[in-house]
Amino acid sequence: MITYTSLPIAGAEKQSERETMPKTAVLYASGFTKNTQRIAEYISSKTGAETFDLKKNTPADLDQYDTIIFGTGVHAGKPYAPVQKFISDNREILKNKKVKLFITCMYNDEKGKNQCARISGMWGIPDAVFFNKKEDRMNADGIPVSVDEFIKGLRCRFFRLLSLPRCIS
């Protein structure tokens, strides 16, 4: 009998972690400041998710994804129209998916929490968080630490138990 062993490969832990995560897509629309785009791309880089800028393109087939993360900026209290339209047009397909939402806004307080709650309620996405580029704690990449906590929550079955800047208590 022949026994095979494998040598450790640098970065293999990260790759295997990505392989065990459900197939995920990050769909977003970003405004002038590109904050939402930066966070969407950061989430994708850390999770292996596919990223789609809804102002430019959309995924051809949502059936291949287990988890869909929507990201939107807020302008004058309103989320960006491409995200709203995509959710509206794909509501039936999204019923069978794990759906998350992040918003980027200019508030770090009750106003941000209220904006997030209003938008997540309007879209029927209870797993929602908000981020602000001027949060007190930033990681080495200049991204709010709360984004890293959100990513950890994607890997956790008990997502609601994490203490993130949730918009719904």
The DSSP-derived string for 96-140 is TSEEEEEEE-S-SSHHHHHHHHHHHHHHT--SEEEE-TT-S-B-T
- Superfamily for the 23-157 domain: Flavodoxin domain (3.40.50.360)
Q: Name the more confident of 155 and 69.
A: 69
Q: What is the predicted pLDDT for the residue at 163?
A: 44
Q: Are 58 and 52 in contact (CB under 8 A)?
A: yes
pTM, full prediction: 0.79
- Tens of pLDDT, residues 95-141: 999 999 999 988 777 888 899 999 999 999 999 999 987 778 889 99
> Who contacts 82 (Cβ-Cβ below 8 Å, separation ≥6)?
29, 54, 55
How sure is the predictor about 22, in pLDDT bands with cuts at 50, 70 and 90? low
More confident residue, 116 or 11: 116
| Phi, psi dihedral angles at 144 (to 5 degrees) | -55, 135
Q: What would the mean pLDDT of 9-36 be, rounded to a whole number? A: 69
Residue 2's pLDDT band, with cuts at 50, 70 and 90, is very low
Tell me the pLDDT tens digit for each residue of 51-88: 999 999 888 789 999 999 999 999 888 999 999 999 99
Which pLDDT belongs to residue 154?
82
